[in-house]
Amino acid sequence: MRPNVLNRYKIIAISLAVLGLLTHTSSSADSEVRKQEAAPYAFWGVILQGHYTEKFRQKYDFSFQGVLVNGVSHNSPAELSRIHPCDEITHINEQPFQDTDALIQFVHSLPEDEYFRVTLLRAGRQLTVDSFIRYFDPAKGDARRLEDNFRNSFGQDRCDLSQHRRLPIEFTAP
């Protein structure tokens, strides 16, 4: 398999984990994917690439000021709030974030349909938007609808780091 195809599968798995659709557990014999309990989970619609961003920061000594948004699911609360791919989320309700996992935990703790303030950087300019999350209940069939929405939006409107204006020269060179 080509390396970028393999990376695409890793990105899909990371994104599904972020959405709460996939839990990876391992046993002594082998690893397997198991379904989560049928409990409601938070959905914002922001697709993050925390691991890739962290490796990029280390390799190129390049600092993002927040958590990089790789993509936004269509018809999601994030899209309705006008959050775009390549935005950097720096604060939520005035709490700063540079770590993807911390941001995910914080968002999952927010109440449903209650607005929260997101501070982000877009092309070097600071913006503030109001956003919200929705909870989906797999017992009611919401997971299938959410998974279809994610699948339909995957690969569209993604952040292309090679087009990022603040990149080091060696990253953008062919």
| pLDDT reported for residue 130 | 95
The answer to pTM > 0.85 is no
Per-residue pLDDT tens listing for the chain (174 residues): 445 544 444 444 444 444 444 333 334 333 333 344 445 566 788 877 665 556 666 665 566 678 888 888 878 888 889 999 888 899 999 999 888 888 888 888 888 878 999 999 998 899 999 998 887 666 665 555 555 555 555 555 556 555 444 444 443 333
Closest among 97, 3, 6 to 50, alpha carbons compared? 97
| pLDDT reported for residue 116 | 94
Sign of the CA dihedral with 135 first, then 138, 139, and 145 last: positive
- As a whole number of angstroms, the distance between CA 92 and CA 147 comes to 26
Give, rounded to a whole angstrom, the gap between the first and last alpha carbons of the chain.
Answer: 22
Distances (CA, A) of 134 to 40, 42, 83: 10, 6, 16
| pLDDT reported for residue 77 | 87
Alpha helices in 39-90 (DSSP H): 50-60, 77-80
- State the residue for tokens 């982000």: 120
Q: Pick one of 2.60.40.10, 2.30.42.10, 2.10.10.90, 2.60.40.60 as the CATH number of 3-172.
A: 2.30.42.10
Q: What is the DSSP letter of 140?
A: G
